[in-house]
Amino acid sequence: GAFVALGLPGIAVALIVRRTLPEPVRGALDNPVGGEAVASFRETMLFLWRCTTYRRVMLFAVGNGFLQFGLLQWWPSFYERVFGLNAAMMGISLGIAIGAGTGSGLLAGGWLANKAPKRIVGLPLLMGPGALLLALPTAIGALLVPIASVSIFLVGLLQFFFGLTQA
């Protein structure tokens, strides 16, 4: 039942995409005959590794992902132990907070990332660390506040900041 309910909108979107988006010309993006040689995987990785910005972005992405997924796995047991929430209440509350927070953060982050380079070119690269700096006190607040509803609200705000980092 759930797969059908969630799959039907996907089928509708697939039909819309199929009818409205043109298929790109096959081979249009391939290397032309006599063009530049394609770099090997090793050469590509060495080129990327020499780029300081790439290394920093990758380090940030790994650390951020580790932190986010660790918290997402841990929140339910925290709310059960500290606030005594049952699975149903916890699932609804955390689901709404995490979904709304992440979704709005992704949308806001995408919008900001599109607008920011017009003023300061490097600003999108600073959005992730800046959002993470805001996320840290928010996460600590979510852990220390004595009211479950306020803590869950802070989890939603935390996910908003995490969503900003993904844009």
What tens digit of pLDDT does each residue of 62-102 get?
988 898 899 999 999 999 999 999 999 999 999 999 999 99
Distances (CA, A) of 112 to 54, 81, 124, 131, 164: 21, 38, 8, 12, 9
Alpha carbons 132 and 110: distance in angstroms, whole number: 16
What is the mean pLDDT of the segment spanning 127-150? 92
Alpha carbons 118 and 25: distance in angstroms, whole number: 32
Helices of type H across the chain: 2-20, 41-50, 52-83, 87-115, 123-144, 148-166
CB atoms closer than 10 angstroms to residue 52: 8
User: So what's the pLDDT on residue 41?
Assistant: 92
pTM of the model: 0.70
CB atoms closer than 10 angstroms to residue 65: 13
The mean pLDDT value of the chain amounts to: 88
User: So what's the pLDDT on residue 34?
Assistant: 61
Alpha carbons 42 and 78: distance in angstroms, whole number: 44
- What percentage of the chain exceeds 90 in pLDDT? 50
Q: pLDDT at residue 33 above 70?
A: no
